Structures are given as C-alpha cells and as structure tokens.
Chains A and B, each alone.
Chain A
Amino acid sequence: MELQTMIWLVVGASFALYFGIAIWSRAGSTSEFYVAGKGVHPVANGMATAADWMSAASFISMAGLIAFLGYSGSVYLMGWTGGYVLLALLLAPYLRKFGKFTVPDFIADRFYSETARIVAVISLLVISLTYIVGQMTGVAVAFSRFLELDLLWGMVVGMAVVFSYTVLGGMKGITYTQIAQYVVLIFAYTVPAIFISFQLTGWVIPQIGLGSTVTDGSGTYMLEKLNQVVTDIGFAEYTTNAAFSTLNMFLLTMALMIGTAGLPHVIVRFFTVPRVRDARKSAGWALIFIALLYTTAPAVGAMAMYNLVKTVHTGDTIGAETTLAYEDRPEWMRTWEGTGLLTFTDKNEDGLIQFYNDGNKAFATMAEEQYGWKGNELNVNRDIMVLANPEIANLPNWVIALVAAGGIAAALSTAAGLLLVISSSVSHDLLKGVFMKGISEKNELMAGRIAMTGAILLAGYLGLNPPGFAAEVVALAFGLAASSLFPVLMMGIFYKKMNKQGAIAGMLAGLLSTVLYIFIYKGFFFIPGTNLFADTAEFWLFGISPQGFGTIGAVINVAVALVVCRMTAPPPAEIQELVESVRVPR
C-alpha cells in the first residue's frame, strides 16, 4: 500500500479509538474531572502516567540526543527515570493520603496560607505552560510532516482532538485515553528498534543487541565497532563522557530527577488511585512502562548513529571509494532534505558526502591534508533520528506509519495531562480556593472546562508562534520544579515543624535564584542579547551550567526555609497533627 494512505489509515484509526474512549468516559463530577473519581487501578494508572510523562521529547528527541552525545546522554536516561524513586518513596503515598485534588491544595493546607497557595499556583502555571508549548509544536510538526497538512491545519486538527477528550472527559477521559496512547507509542517505538537490532546484531531484544556482536562475522562488539566508526571521523569515543564535566553531569542528572518528582502533572496522577499502597505501587508500574522505552532508547540512538555513519562512509577505511556520492543518496535523505532538517553542502566540490566532526581541530587539519576535506558537509537535525530510523533501515511502510502515530500519541498524551493541571489550578485553586470560595460544584466543573478550552487555545497559539526558545524553556521548567515545588512538598511531609514563613521564603528563594541564574546566561525572558555573560563554561559560576542549576536552587530553597523557620513561630498544633495523619496510611 502507498505510504501516505497507510499513514492516514493508522493515525486515523488511533484517533477513532481516542474519540470512542472520550465518549465512553465522560466526567460528571469534579472528583471525576480532577482525579478520575480516585478509582483507577494502579497498573492502569502506571500506564497512563507513563504516557503522560513520555512526551514528544522522550519519543522523538531523546534517542537523537543520545546518538550524538553517546555516554553523556545518560543524564537524560537516569534523570528522567530516577525521579520516580523519589516520587514513590518521598511524595506519592503521603500526598495521596492527604486526599485532595491538586498540588497547591496540599501546600495551602499544610502551610495554612493562601499566599503559599498563590506562590505554588504561579510556579505550577509557569512550569506547565512552558512545557505544553513544546508539545503543541510537536503535534503540529508531526501532523504537517506525516499528514501533509500545513502547520496551521496540523495544529487545528491536533487541538480539536485534544479538546474532544480532555474537556469532555477530564481526568477520567484523559486517563483511559492515555492507556490507549501508551500502547500505541510503545509499540511504535519498539517495533523498529527490534527490526534494526535484528538486522545489525541478530538479537531481537535491542537491550541485548546493543551489548552483543555485530553480524558481519568479525566478532566485534556493537559498541566497540561504534567507537571505532565514530572516532574514525573525528568524534569522541561513544562510550566515554565528552560533553559535560563530572560536576555538571551530576548536577544536571540530579536537577532532572528532582524536577521530575516536582512536576505537578506527574504528581497529580497519584491522586487518582484508590489507596495509599496503590500510590506507591503505581509509581513502580509507571517506571516499568517508562523503562520499556528508556532502556530501548540507548540501542535506538547507538544503532541509528551507526547506520547513519555507515550510509555515508560505507567501508572499514575512510577514502573516496568508500564515501557515498551525493548522486547515489538513498530515498530517505531526499525526503528529509525536503523538510530542511537534513542539509548537504559540497564544500570541496567532489560530489561525495563527507560527514565528520570538523569541530575537532586536530582531526580537521589531518583530514584536509590527507583526504582533501574542506569541512563537514552533512548536517543532520537530531530530532529526525527516531522518525527517519525506519526509513534508514529500509523497514516496511506500516512501521513508518506506526512511528507517525506513536509520535503523535506521545505529544497528545502529555499535552492532555498538562492541560488538566492548568485548568484545575485555575478553577480549583484560584477560583474556588481564593476568589470565589462559595462556588457550586457544577459551576466549578464549568469553570474547569472553560479554563481548559482557554489553555488549549493559548497553547495552540504559542505552538504556532513559538517564542523560539523551546529547548531553553524546558530547562527552565525542570529547574523551577526542582527548585520550588519539590523541596517544599518534601519538607511539608518530613519536617513537622516547617512553618508557612519558611515555606514561602524557601519557594521564592529557590524560584528566583534559579530564574535569575538561567536569565543571566540565556538572556532576560530569553530575549537574545540581554544575557550578562556568554553561556559557556568559563563564565559559569563555579562551572555550573544553567541547566543543572535547579539542584543548587533546591539546596537554596531548603537552606532559606530552615533559617526562616527557626526565626519565626512554629506551625499551630492542628497542622502538626495533619502531618502526623498524612504519614500513616490508615
């Protein structure tokens, strides 16, 4: 069957499924709308959490990052999974026992303060809005690439689909749709990985394939071969750290871990299960489902890199006769050239494609003298590695169609989870909690739906007119979650004597120091040219990169909170009792 027809068919079928679930699981009460009536089975919740968590970044971008970063890409693998240990052990069971609807709910009650609630809502909105813009851009790009619509119509279709099941179904609809989306996305991710692993190593399990020998009869291990192949063209060894200092590797991984545990749209998932013990277990199931993709990603990245280099430099030695001529480039290169995400410039005008690391000065000089190369001629956008992977490996059309549906499912499911926390913080925390305390349940539900519609329109608009700093704002979202919400939630549970002054001062200190540090190097509000220092290691304070600063922000948060807490009155007795009751399941 024609590829385009196949894509329409597979993506269309997945949409029909999501619509069907939306109609079946319509929310009738605020409890169903915010937390799915607290009746979701822990395994089902784990699956929904996994889909909620794994965004377009995990599905599309991560393996590409790993392909080019090698070992250094581990910060994303460990950072985005290790946070679940913190969630399961330090937050989820206690917040579930507390038993309300939102993260600001807990902060407001525990710190007996509406000011604390408002500070929490502000952090939550900044985190979630920055995050959702990237998702909507991902949706629009996926639609326009795969359905051959223009970007505007791609976005309109995407918004309509999200609208149908989030606004109608609330958390209940979102949860059941996310389960379906998880199945679609994990299938779409692993099938091509299995095919490619089998082609290269003879193993169908990619996690084993990456650690075994290549099938060319040489008996060399896959990773050994890859090390050799990339160092031959001037890149650093794949299995060693070349991108970050050890300090930044530590700080960045830690910031991603505690940021993950502090993301409101992830935390709120654990409010939906029936019991405290289910909240603990559910985090474990979520991580199993996430690990299926995250342990496959290193194989996808490594093998895609290997295939890419071997497509261009075909032989065991580098030379004109083993270099691909531009004339003979395969079909997938032609397709992706059309999108501008893959470009070729024949710098030495020999009609051959030279792909190498010309940033490596010693290698570049040697290559110019020995091979007559005048610079790297092939630029490959990292984000196309996963999407182009099945085409690079010549897999059948239905696999390519599946990857399209999977990428769209990953972006949609995360967007839906984010929309829910945005709408609940507006309707529940701001309206019911602060401005209209007497609002009826029916009106609150209506307000929630209106807020969600507003958030979809805003996210769609920002997705079409991206402020142009998507990668930077994601660092900001994690930095803020790590430095503001996570420490305060943890201290609320583990330190009975923490009072409202300490919590508010801590949140503000963590939030402001992190924002400031990022702005100093990335520009104020990311406006180019307004940064005070260049964003390079020599200007960083103690060599700390802005992306990893969330870890420091969290330490500042805790330190300030403890000092302020010592100087002010302890929390009232009933608050200390509340903490005691949160600590026991029954």
Chain B
Amino acid sequence: MQMTEKAAAYWKANVRLLTICLVIWFVVSFGLGIFLAQPLNNFSLGGYPLGFWFAQQGSIYTFIALIFFYVYKMNQIDREFDVHEE
C-alpha cells in the first residue's frame, strides 16, 4: 500500500512538472510566435522584429532549454522518490 502511494506521489510530481513545461512550450511557440507575432513585431531584438524572432529563432532555443530543464528536474525527482537508475 505504501509503495503505491509513493508511486502515485511520484507520478503526480512528474505530471505537475510536465504541465508547467508544456504551458511554456505552448506560450512561447504558439503564443509569442504565432498569435501575438503581429503586435510583438513593433518591438525588435537587434534587427529582428520580435515576433519574427520568436517564430524563427527564439522558440527553438526555448525548446532546447525546456528539455534540459525537464531532464534536470526529473533526475532530482527520481532521486527524491528513490526510483533513479544507478
């Protein structure tokens, strides 16, 4: 019984982390890169209009950072719940 409770808590922690990451994933690519691109283009990053930059550069960098953030946090959670691989 104790094992299954622990497994449920582990899964809950994982799903919470996943949700945070996926919200960022959605907001940066679809939000900033597509839906808000037009207004954001009034600002600029160097010679890049900002919305254009998010769509063609920024979203991709964010994706990479997100995956490594998830890997780092997940390794922590794995150890916390003692389910990590040696």
Residues of A within 8 A of B66 (CB): 85
B11 touches A (CB below 8 Å): yes
| With A213-B47, A224-B47, A586-B84: A287-B63 Cβ-Cβ less than 8 Å | yes
Which positions 31-82 of chain B face chain A at CB distance < 8 Å?
33-35, 37-38, 41, 45-49, 52-53, 55-57, 59-61, 63-64, 66-68, 70-71, 74-75, 78
Are A78 and B55 touching (Cβ within 8 A)? yes
Shortest distance from the beta carbon of A62 to any chain B beta carbon, whole Å: 12
A479 to B64, CA, bound (A): 25
| With A82-B29, A253-B30: A585-B84 Cβ-Cβ less than 8 Å | yes
Are B70 and A88 touching (Cβ within 8 A)? yes
A77 touches B (CB below 8 Å): yes
For B, the interface residue count at a CB cutoff of 8 angstroms equals 44
Are A246 and B35 touching (Cβ within 8 A)? yes
A37 to B49, CA, bound (A): 47
Shortest distance from the beta carbon of B15 to any chain A beta carbon, whole Å: 8
Are A586 and B63 touching (Cβ within 8 A)? no
| With A277-B75, A280-B74: A221-B29 Cβ-Cβ less than 8 Å | no
Give the residue name and chain of the A residue nearest to B35 (CB): A246
A249 to B29, CA, bound (A): 11
Q: Mark A350-372, 1 if CB is under 8 A from B, else 0.
A: 00000000000000000000000
Majority SS at the chain A contact face: helix
A358 to B68, CA, bound (A): 47
A117 touches B (CB below 8 Å): no
Q: Give the most central of B22, B35, B49: most A CB within 10 Å.
A: B49
Give the residue name and chain of the A residue nearest to B11 (CB): A583
Shortest distance from the beta carbon of B53 to any chain A beta carbon, whole Å: 7
B5 touches A (CB below 8 Å): no
Are A287 and B85 touching (Cβ within 8 A)? no
B27 touches A (CB below 8 Å): no
Are B25 and A82 touching (Cβ within 8 A)? yes
A222 touches B (CB below 8 Å): yes
Shortest distance from the beta carbon of A271 to any chain B beta carbon, whole Å: 16
Shortest distance from the beta carbon of B65 to any chain A beta carbon, whole Å: 9
A223 to B49, CA, bound (A): 9
Are B7 and A580 touching (Cβ within 8 A)? yes
A494 to B59, CA, bound (A): 26
Are B71 and A284 touching (Cβ within 8 A)? yes
Are B59 and A88 touching (Cβ within 8 A)? no
Residues of A within 8 A of B55 (CB): 71, 74, 77-78
Give me 9 A-to-B residue pairs in the complex whose CB atoms sit less than 8 angstroms apart, sorted by A's number: A81-B59, A81-B60, A210-B47, A211-B47, A222-B47, A224-B47, A291-B64, A295-B56, A295-B60
